[in-house]
Structure 1
């Protein structure tokens, strides 16, 4: 059994029921998303193996996955480098978000059950409480959970498949600027959920589009991710 480290507490890799590579992958992705590994930071196999208390093989396999997901770039003779969320990358992300989230919201308004709406409202309440408490790690998790719930409620399995990888990046962007963005995002989410609850696809689509546009605007007017690590979503 091998040990990995997060914060000041040692955690055991091998104690879960995931393959070792998958456990390293989850932890590596989390550290990038939470900013523990900064944009532009070099991540060698030896360093990550030491960080996680594992051999290089699961690290190498996990790096291949996060490279495919767009979190790192593997460069000759340098190893892996955490990518930078520059303006083109942010624009590309929000362009796709606008298409997927507006479609999902409209379909969700057509198909949501009372239980679905109750689930969304509970996520809103939890996000409000987390925002008030200043728990922005939790706010970021709830932000992604809400969007993914709307996609699930839409009933379109292709939307779910296409969105799965993208929302790791949505979480990343949101977490970097959650303190500034969270109060506005929560209010915009209320409008989306109210439209879904009313069974109004046009209103839900419009609310989702306005939300994505507002988030993109906030991200693009913030200091660059490379300089300040502060884009917001």
Structure 2
């Protein structure tokens, strides 16, 4: 029996390329190289990445569906605005997921790692750490929660939202350059809760940290809107 299909291998090749473009363009956005509201310079990207119009157009449509891009007829493609509503939605999801993760993870995080983190954060706050990558260490308390929560579905949900979390974080850093320093005392409290092995303390510390991060950027956004 001869087996036939209406779908050709060309469709798979085109899909693969559009997914690669989508992934690359998502990184440009979420890592802050194109600011919220900024134009996506399609022609420049096509030239640099040596990509034709079709896969690029497919990638933009996918990103539009994810809420990262808006496409305006006869004007072009733009990174979505990081407005107050968007921030609230992103942080609502993050608070819910990460609080669940820390509740499950706290009892399983190795005390040696928690102790090391507490000591490191304490030294930085006292000005005793000479070499410290603030951005890298900023992620550790969150990574520990994800790593040790023991729930594969929560891990997958967190990973599926990481691009949006990253987008919000890079927006915070761009507009509040000292945001990592502002968050450091909050991270220390989360690390201390890990060391104590107390899930309730961990939930409260993580919630306070994420709510403060959200409120700092929301206040900035509302202040900018008031000036318009």
Higher relative contact order (CA 8 A, sep 6+): 2
Q: Which residue, out of 28, 31, 36, partners 2:33?
A: 36
Per-residue CA distance 1:162-194 (angstroms, 9 max, x = gap): 222322122222223322210121221121122
Q: What is the root-mean-square deviation of aligned Cα atoms in Å?
A: 3.5
**Structure 1 unaligned residues grouped into runs of 5+:** 1-18, 228-233
Aligned equivalents of 2:96 and 2:113: distance in 1?
22
Query: Which protein has the bigger strand share?
Result: 1
Displacement of 1:218 in angstroms is: 0.6
Aligned equivalents of 2:118 and 2:144: distance in 1?
11
Displacement of 1:84 in angstroms is: 0.3
Aligned equivalents of 1:22 and 1:120: distance in 2?
37
Which residue in the other structure is 2:157 paired with? Answer: 162
Per-residue CA distance 1:17-39 (angstroms, 9 max, x = gap): xx654543343122223333222
Displacement of 1:95 in angstroms is: 1.5
Which residue in the other structure is 2:13 paired with? Answer: none
Structure whose alpha-carbon radius of gyration is higher? 2
Displacement of 1:206 in angstroms is: 0.7
Which residue in the other structure is 2:53 paired with? Answer: 56
TM-score by length of structure 2 reads 0.72
TM-score by length of structure 1 reads 0.71
Displacement of 1:146 in angstroms is: 4.2
Displacement of 1:123 in angstroms is: 9.2
> 3-state SS of the aligned residue for 2:26?
helix
Per-residue CA distance 1:186-208 (angstroms, 9 max, x = gap): 22112112212221111101101
Is the Cα–Cα contact under 8 Å of residues 85 and 225 in structure 1 kept in the other structure? no
> 3-state SS of the aligned residue for 1:38?
coil
Is the Cα–Cα contact under 8 Å of residues 144 and 167 in structure 1 kept in the other structure? no
Is the Cα–Cα contact under 8 Å of residues 141 and 190 in structure 2 kept in the other structure? no
- After the TM superposition, which of the residue ranges 107-116 and 187-196 deviates more from structure 2? 107-116
Aligned equivalents of 2:102 and 2:93: distance in 1?
14
Number of residue pairs aligned between Structure 1 and Structure 2 = 204
> 3-state SS of the aligned residue for 2:33?
coil
Aligned equivalents of 1:52 and 1:105: distance in 2?
40
Displacement of 1:88 in angstroms is: 0.7
Displacement of 1:214 in angstroms is: 1.0
Q: Structure 1 residues 182, 20: closer, same or farther in 2, change over 3 A?
A: same
> 3-state SS of the aligned residue for 2:78?
strand
Q: Which residue, out of 163, 166, 173, partners 2:168?
A: 173
Aligned equivalents of 1:132 and 1:170: distance in 2?
29
Which residue in the other structure is 1:89 paired with? Answer: 86
